[in-house]
Structure 1
Amino acid sequence: MCHKFVDLLQQEEVQNTFPELKELFIRAPASHKQAEKTNNGAKAADEIIEYKMSSVPRGLCLIINNVKFDPSLPDRPGSMRDEESIKEVFQWLGFTLDVYRNQTAEETKDLLKSYSQKPHDGDCFVCFIMSHGSKDGVHGTDGGIFSKDDIFGPFSGKSCPSLVDKPKVFFIQTCRGREYQLGVQIQSDSYEEVKAKVEIEDEESLQLDSFEMTTIPSDADFLIARSTIKGYYSFRNTDTGSWFIQSLCKQLKTHCPKGEDVQSILLYVNNEVSEKKASNIYKQMPIHKVTLRKKLVFRVPDQQ
């Protein structure tokens, strides 16, 4: 009965009638340790941690660069400049490099499958594919096609156990259709005249890589960055390399030393490429999709 009477005295209606009761029933605050435990638990639940990136070497960077094609497809001048830029950046980032040039479709399928079966002791796997393409997939040098399943399927969790829980990163430089992307006019909300910085390329120095891909595997820990959105051309300068790969290498060199994650760096790439123009009219918009569960940061070895 006493407990019921005490409970009655703590009811809000009763205490509003007899305010002096409020001073008698002030709840004791949680202990410091309890509060600390609660705060730490909330912080741990909200915090997004990073993938491990400390192994030496960091992992493998596989580069597939198709430059010379059978007569049915034109060669891809400028792609060797992309390859040089990739090798410079990923050697600096502490990766082992394996480079393959001028692979047929079947050779590429076999190559990707063989690399998925190798033991991956590093923290990350990176793959660059640079070639022609179409809506049906990526072209080998013989004009044959390998699909998204041929590219990503071998590296799924079931097919490649040594890369489970490790980031698998693909950068793909190809077109994804046969349409040109046009720009739209924008206006600044500044009291000063602000001009967007754009790069106008000589039309004769630009070429196209055609390719289309629709989805990424459902498995976790994939990041797939493509040079353009579905349905559109991707530009490559025959002297200086492709817009996408050159911007990617530049932004990695700029932002990796600052500890920025790769998804954030790809936003810089998107912005830089989107400001360029071909023939003073045509545009390009890169895109990336992820099933990452943590932040992916390429830690520069010399800074650790």
Structure 2
Amino acid sequence: MLATGIDIGMDARHKKILQSNRSNLVQELDPSMLYDGLLSRGVFTQDMIDEIQSAGTRRNQARQLVRDLETRGSRAFPAFLECLQETRQDHVVHLLLDGDSPRPSVPNPVRPTLLPMPLNKPKDMPDRVDITPQPDVTVHPTKLDPLPSPYQEKGKLSPRPIGRQRRDSIQNYKMDASPCGHCLIINNVDFEPQSELNNRKGSDIDCDRLERRFKSLNFVVLVKKNLKQRQIKQELSDLSKVDHSKYDCCVVIVLSHGTEASHSRFPGAVHGVDGPSVPVQNITSYLNGQHCPSLQGKPKLFFIQACGGGERDTGFEVSPDEFKPSMGGVDDQTDALPMSSSSDSLSMSDEPDARATLPTPSDILVSYSTFPGYVSWRDTQTGSWYVETLDNILEENVGTNDLVTMLMMVNNEVSQISAKGLYKQMPGSFNFLRKLFYFQALPQ
């Protein structure tokens, strides 16, 4: 699994530095920020990065990364330092450049001595001295004027309704290019026998719905059906190599079986028709700034119709005045691994990492059909609850509401449906958009 062009032996001095500082690296290193740089420099392959990410928590990933780095040849250590500098992990760079010397201990800060206030204090002296530490103040750069829009044929777009006006402090993403962007739909229906996954009858209905909907929203839609794991990765790689300079947005929709997966950003994974899965966080990484510079600063939307795990939600009782019960179809199925499957690919829930902060990718929104860990329901005759509801909400509200508001409407509608009169489903989103997002509402 070694990348081409990488010699096997690492310099003994560099290996000693890594080994002597391994415990500190595990404590300090944020591996999630390094994957793109190490991949682009040929230090690791995508398969190796996937394997490191499958280690689970940040500490375990850091431990595995350092261990694997020692086998990646003489260029691996300098490339590692470059990646650390690019991601502003300078404290780790300084640690490594000190060689195998132990990390100096940080002295305890000197606390100020507090003296009692005099009984006869001057009138202008405060009763209490505030010694609460104050946060650092970040000076933000001057706000740049927006670039002029290259789109001149304004007659093709419907005017923005008054209801879309928002506070000046909240901006909207530019969405006036025509077409506005690419939309890739991956529709996995027929699974190979060795996958031990059932065919997803009814998914073609979802696919047709979404293809029509996103064409009506002025996207260039490409549909790919029954892709194996490696084919999913290849389609995403091809999409990342497209020049998106003249477009304003990009959408990826995956309709497949799903499962839980170790992650540092976005939970869950989707299966290829051959069985192996692709983590959702890897799907999103294909369109980040490192792999797709022409989408920097532009919204990247991902819609995942798949199970987040194998747990079934039976819901809880609420006031009858709050919700009207809605029954799902008699042919409801889940998009999870079959309950009788002997496959061990369904992992336990991801262990939460104790680190207070993790880097969050900007301009990305991932909408899941179900809460992580739970099944997602699909009617074999009418399609999945989530896609049918999403399509209806878009049809009725796309001209007046932003995407996040519409997804909350989807959450509310789907939460009121019941499968077989018992099971429930709760969609949700991981939202890292920086502005309000409105689809184009083209005239009918």
Sort the TM-score into its range (normalised by shorter chain): 0.7 to 0.9
Q: Which residue of 1 aligns with 2:293?
A: 161
Against the structure 1 CA distance between its residues 281 and 217, is the aligned structure 2 distance closer, same or farther, given a 3 Å change threshold?
farther
User: 2:239 pairs with 115, 118, 125, which one?
Assistant: 115
| Structure 1 residue 294 corresponds to structure 2 residue 416 | no
Report the Cα offset of residue 228 of structure 1: 0.5
Q: Name segments (4+ residues, structure 1) moved above 6 Å.
A: 211-217
Against the structure 1 CA distance between its residues 232 and 301, is the aligned structure 2 distance closer, same or farther, given a 3 Å change threshold?
same
Report the Cα offset of residue 241 of structure 1: 0.4
- Aligned counterparts of 1:113 and 1:86: Cα–Cα separation in 2: 22
| Structure 1 residue 84 corresponds to structure 2 residue 226 | no
Contact 2:332–2:420 under 8 Å retained in 1: no
**Secondary structure in 2 aligned to 1:81?**
helix
Report the Cα offset of residue 195 of structure 1: 6.6
User: 1:48 pairs with 137, 160, 170, which one?
Assistant: 170
- Aligned counterparts of 1:217 and 1:143: Cα–Cα separation in 2: 31
Bigger relative contact order, structure 1 or 2 (CA pairs below 8 A, ≥6 apart): 1
Contact 1:156–1:217 under 8 Å retained in 2: no
Aligned-residue Cα RMSD (Å) equals 2.2
Structure 1: gaps spanning 5 or more residues: 1-43, 189-193
| Structure 1 residue 134 corresponds to structure 2 residue 256 | no
Against the structure 1 CA distance between its residues 239 and 217, is the aligned structure 2 distance closer, same or farther, given a 3 Å change threshold?
farther
| Structure 1 residue 200 corresponds to structure 2 residue 324 | no
- Aligned counterparts of 1:65 and 1:217: Cα–Cα separation in 2: 31
- Aligned counterparts of 1:195 and 1:155: Cα–Cα separation in 2: 41
1:96-245 correspondence to structure 2 within 5 Å: 96-120=220-244, 121-136=246-261, 137-187=269-319, 194=321, 196-203=323-330, 205-210=331-336, 218-245=360-387
**Secondary structure in 2 aligned to 1:152?**
helix
What number of residue pairs does the alignment pair up? 253
What fraction of aligned residue pairs are identical, expressed as a percent? Answer: 38
Report the Cα offset of residue 281 of structure 1: 1.3
For 1:197-246, what per-residue CA distance to the aligned partner results, in whole angstroms no more than 9, with x for missing partners?
2321244x011112889799722100100001111100000010000111
Structure 2: gaps spanning 5 or more residues: 1-165, 262-268, 338-345, 353-357
1:61-72 correspondence to structure 2 within 5 Å: 61-71=183-193, 72=196
- Counting helix residues as a fraction of each chain, which structure ranks higher? 1
Report the Cα offset of residue 134 of structure 1: 1.6
Against the structure 1 CA distance between its residues 217 and 147, is the aligned structure 2 distance closer, same or farther, given a 3 Å change threshold?
farther
Letter in 2 for 1:230: P
- Aligned counterparts of 1:49 and 1:269: Cα–Cα separation in 2: 23
- Counting strand residues as a fraction of each chain, which structure ranks higher? 1
Contact 1:182–1:282 under 8 Å retained in 2: yes
- Aligned counterparts of 1:201 and 1:152: Cα–Cα separation in 2: 31
Contact 2:240–2:286 under 8 Å retained in 1: yes
Letter in 1 for 2:300: K
- Aligned counterparts of 2:290 and 2:214: Cα–Cα separation in 1: 27
- Aligned counterparts of 1:171 and 1:297: Cα–Cα separation in 2: 16
TM-score scaled by length of structure 2: 0.54
1:11-26 correspondence to structure 2 within 5 Å: none
**Secondary structure in 2 aligned to 1:172?**
strand
Structure number with larger C-alpha Rg: 1
Contact 2:314–2:423 under 8 Å retained in 1: yes
Q: Which moved more, 1:120-129 or 1:131-140?
A: 131-140
- Aligned counterparts of 2:280 and 2:416: Cα–Cα separation in 1: 29
